[in-house]
């Protein structure tokens, strides 16, 4: 079951919620901001406790 994670958009600064599939392990993908529609580069790392750590960056900042 996906885990909800809160991030801030690196462009507009609005808080948004993304869903992370922990079973997929470490991931990198791009998802559009739900507010300003700009592409956010998401880097997801699953820590030793199985919790996702999400880093959000602008498309050209990743």
Q: Are 16 and 7 in contact (CB under 8 A)?
A: yes
Number of domains in the chain: 1
The pLDDT tens digits of the residues spanning 41-62 come to: 999 999 998 899 999 999 777 5
d(CA 58, CA 50): 26
Domain that holds residue 44: 3-58
Position 22 scores a pLDDT of 87
Q: What is the pLDDT of residue 39?
A: 96
Beta-strand relationship, 3-8 and 15-20: antiparallel
Q: Identify the H or E element spanning 49.
A: none
pLDDT in tens, 5-24: 999 999 999 999 999 998 88
CB 59 within 8 A of CB 46: no
Around Cβ 29, how many Cβ atoms within 10 Å?
Answer: 11
Give pTM, 2 decimals.
0.83
């Amino acid at each position: 079951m996906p885990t909800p994670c809160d991030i801030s958009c690196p462009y507009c600064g609005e808080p948004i919620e993304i869903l992370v599939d922990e079973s997929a392990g470490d991931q990198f993908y791009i998802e559009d901001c739900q507010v300003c529609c700009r592409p956010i580069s998401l880097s997801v790392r699953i820590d030793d406790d199985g919790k996702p750590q999400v880093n959000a960056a602008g498309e050209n900042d990743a």
